[in-house]
Chains A and B, each alone.
Chain A
Amino acid sequence: MAQSIEQTRDGDALVLRPRGRWVVADAQALDDRLAEIRAGAARRVRIDLAGVEAMDTTGAWLLFRLKRGLEASGAAVSVDHVGAELAPLLTQIEKRQASPVKPPRRGFGPIVLLAHIGFRTVELMRLTRALLAFFGEVAITFARTAAQPRRLRFTPMVAQMQRAGVSALGIVGLLSFLVGIVMTYIGAQQLKPYGAEIFTVNLLAVGFLRELGGLMAAIIIAGRSGSAFTAEIGAMVVNEEIDAMRTLGLDPIEVLVVPRILGLILTLPFLTFWADFTGLAGGAVMCRTSLDIPLTTFLVQLHGAVSLWSVFLGIIKAPFFAACIALIGCNEGLLVTRSAESVGRRTTQSVVQAIFLVIVLDALFSIFFNELGI
């Protein structure tokens, strides 16, 4: 911290004698001192470097900037006692003049907000268009695959089914089981005053088979597999693997997207069935332990409450949810640009959009079934 700049006047000349270390670690202190130096009336300025103990590129830059500033105010500047080892450094700095930089501008608040809203709106429209275009592209590839089934990548598809389906059995089962318990508990509490605890089973059965089982499975898979699709494909984009595929004549849609979509479409109905089953099992356990409804009574009541048709209505939605999740996951993955931050942002987007669309789709199905009177 021992920099000082001694200023002496010698007739019409100003002599500057900087001392100490001119290195980046002390750059702030130096910069503050240099700001005070003015040529004033001096026509000539001599900078004597004899007292400088060490200088690095930052120090050399500050010296060069000082010299340039003094020259701009009309003084002739000379630099004396430049050490032999410093000469090449100063030449480099002078040769590669850094252009003056403006610190980033900050805009006026409301305008920034307005610009932000506009930007996001355009972004949203672009995204919608991209998703539609992607859907079209995938549909064409599907048609081509249907015409030439040999083009289907069977092994990756099975691998996806294993990863998205079999590996998810534990978490889907556990969560559905717990939700089954919660629903039974809440339902029983509400129905008890009427002595209608037994109808808890109806509530559970219709709720789970028609809606909850499918939604639970779809939402877990959106969080688990949809995000994985985006991150995997996104990392491949960052690593230029997708470009490499294209140059090798491979269609990324065919190689990466179709197996994922098809794999998930085939998997999610089974997961939905599994969620239905474990949810009902959770309810049955709860009925037996807290409501004193034995398993046989539970099953008889269940049989009366729902038909196979209800199970089917719950499961028929699953392939649509699956297509939606996989489509969004893959699309967001391919939209990744080459930065780590964009992988994270796209993955978040993928999960949020997939869950949103699954719920919208579910609502549409409800209206549709309602109109059909089933």
Chain B
Amino acid sequence: MSSASDVVAPVVRVRSLTTSIGGRILVRDATFDLRPGEVLGVVGASGSGKSVLLRTIVGLVPAAAGTIEIFGDELGRSGQTDLRRFGARWGVLFQDGALFSSLTVAENIMVPLREQLHLSPALMHEIAALKIALVGLPPDTADKFPAALSGGMRKRAGLARALALDPKLLFLDEPTAGLDPIAATEFDGLVRDLKESLGLTVFMVTHDLDSLIAICDRIAVIVDQRVVIGTLAELMRNPHPWIQAYFRGPRGRAAQVAEAANG
């Protein structure tokens, strides 16, 4: 399904991007590509600007400097019109799900379907039920309001909404945080299968070392306001003390042992 042009053209092209929030610079002069069909994990200390980087790339926070191209289109600074243009082509999962609180879960999933396509109500309900099943929520979640869900369930419902239009590009902000380990492993499996079947490209902010090692093709580390990007093996060789501490710490080691045991 992927033509030759896809292979060369990155899905997201970030050039000398500087992100800031409230006048404080978080990442300076970051340049990297997100290749088609790749899962990029973004890690960094709390407050290092992982989420702000994600929000800048999807156009919610204006970039202080630099350019962002998504599917070859430059994301301008005009904001709203851009977001409308891209809304059908990417899915975004926020940290707490960010569900519309006055709509049921099924209605939340139907929002993008209704906005972007013309489908019969019966088919939209079917698609909503499919997405609910796909993210591993029980069927009766469909008619519940977000306030009645636990944090982990809200997150999955948020993912279901992000997947509603089967986008080619998915932004995930800490998708497995707050999930129990079994659910987190299932989530990793789901992302991997979707990636393989749909050629999904994923930009994932995470602290979950298991996810990082299990499904990420490359990892971007934010240290000292820079973005260091590479495969796990490359990063392991990076002498930076924070990177060493991150991957060679007890948790990092345990995750790698577990992954090696799984094959």
Contact = CB atoms under 8 A, between A and B. Distances in A.
Interface of A: 23-25, 27-28, 31, 53-58, 60-61, 65, 83, 85-89, 91-93, 96-101, 103, 238, 337-342
Contacts of B196: 85, 88-89
Contacts of B170: none
Contacts of A89: 193-194, 196-198
Interface stretch (B19-27, B78-86, B120-128): B120-128
Residue from B100, B106, B123, B142 with most neighbouring chain A CB atoms (10 Å): B123
B45 interface: no
28 contacts: A23-B166, A24-B164, A27-B127, A28-B120, A53-B1, A54-B1, A56-B166, A58-B130, A58-B166, A61-B126, A61-B130, A65-B126, A83-B1, A86-B197, A88-B193, A91-B193, A92-B193, A96-B133, A99-B133, A99-B139, A100-B129, A103-B125, A238-B101, A338-B101, A339-B101, A339-B145, A341-B101, A342-B102
B136 interface: yes
B134 A92 contact: yes
Contact of A339 (B102, B127, B134, B142): B102
Contacts of B197: 55, 60, 85-89, 92
Contacts of A53: 1
A339 B130 contact: no
Contacts of B100: 340
B131 interface: yes
Given A92-B193, A103-B122, A98 B198 contact: no
6 closest A-B pairs by beta carbon, nearest first, are: A89-B197, A341-B102, A339-B101, A56-B166, A338-B147, A99-B139
Interface of B: 1, 100-102, 106, 113, 117-123, 125-134, 136, 139, 142, 145-147, 163-166, 190, 193-194, 196-199
Contacts of A28: 117-120, 123
Contacts of A27: 117, 119, 123, 127
Residue from A24, A31, A53, A100 with most neighbouring chain B CB atoms (10 Å): A24
Given A27-B127, A96-B133, A339-B147, A57 B102 contact: no
Interface of B is mostly: helix
A65 B123 CA distance: 12
A134 B148 CA distance: 25
B111 to A, nearest CB: 14
A89 B193 CA distance: 6
Contacts of A23: 166
Contact of B127 (A24, A92, A103, A238): A24
A314 to B, nearest CB: 42
Nearest to B112: A24
B220 to A, nearest CB: 26
A92 B195 CA distance: 12
A26 to B, nearest CB: 9
Given A24-B166, A28-B118, A339-B101, A85 B133 contact: no
Given A96-B133, A97-B133, 5 more contacts: A85-B196, A91-B193, A98-B126, A238-B101, A338-B147
Nearest to B104: A104
Given A93-B130, A338-B147, A339-B146, A31 B121 contact: no
